[in-house]
Amino acid sequence: MDVQIFKTPSGEEMVVLPRAEYEALLARAADAGEDDADVAVYDARMAALTAGADEVLPSEVSSNVLRGHSVMKAVRLWRGVLQADLARNAHVSQGFISDLESGKKRADEATLDRIATALNVPLRWLARG
């Protein structure tokens, strides 16, 4: 690093360095800030898990959610259940299940409870999204 250090007439030390090196330092500082933010998110999620305020979904469900599926569709796929079968077991129409999965419609808690029961998962899994 090509750095020059000098003192001002008031005694303050100053540093001069090439712009490219300055920008590289800024980039490293920004990366460190992002790392700190990632650590904070991780710490918050781990605290929620430890306190029982949250839970881990099965990895296949999480993967499908990350691919853009709704939680309901991801759980249904994980369970290997067709929309028509889920609809019949939850006493709703297949079109309604499709609309729920695509986000076109929302279900009330009683309906979500029937769907969760049909999928054999806790209601809170479906209530989250």
Q: Which tens digit of pLDDT belongs to each residue from 41-55? A: 667 666 766 666 556
Show the CA angle centred on residue 71, arms to residues 100 and 39, nearest 5°: 145
| Residue 84 CB partners (closer than 8 Å, separation 6+) | 94
pLDDT at 120: 94
pLDDT more than 90, % of the chain = 47
Q: Which residues of 26-54 are buried (b: 16+ CB within 10 A; e: fewer)?
A: eeeeeeeeeeeeeeeeeeeeeeeeeeeee
Mean pLDDT of the chain: 87
Q: What is the dihedral of CA 13, 18, 20, 25, to 10 degrees?
A: -20
Residue 14 structure tokens:
């100053």
Q: Which tens digit of pLDDT belongs to each residue from 62-107? A: 888 889 999 999 999 999 999 999 999 999 999 999 999 999 999 9
pLDDT at 36: 74
Residue 88 buriedness (CB in 10 A; 0-12 / 13-18 / 19+)? middle
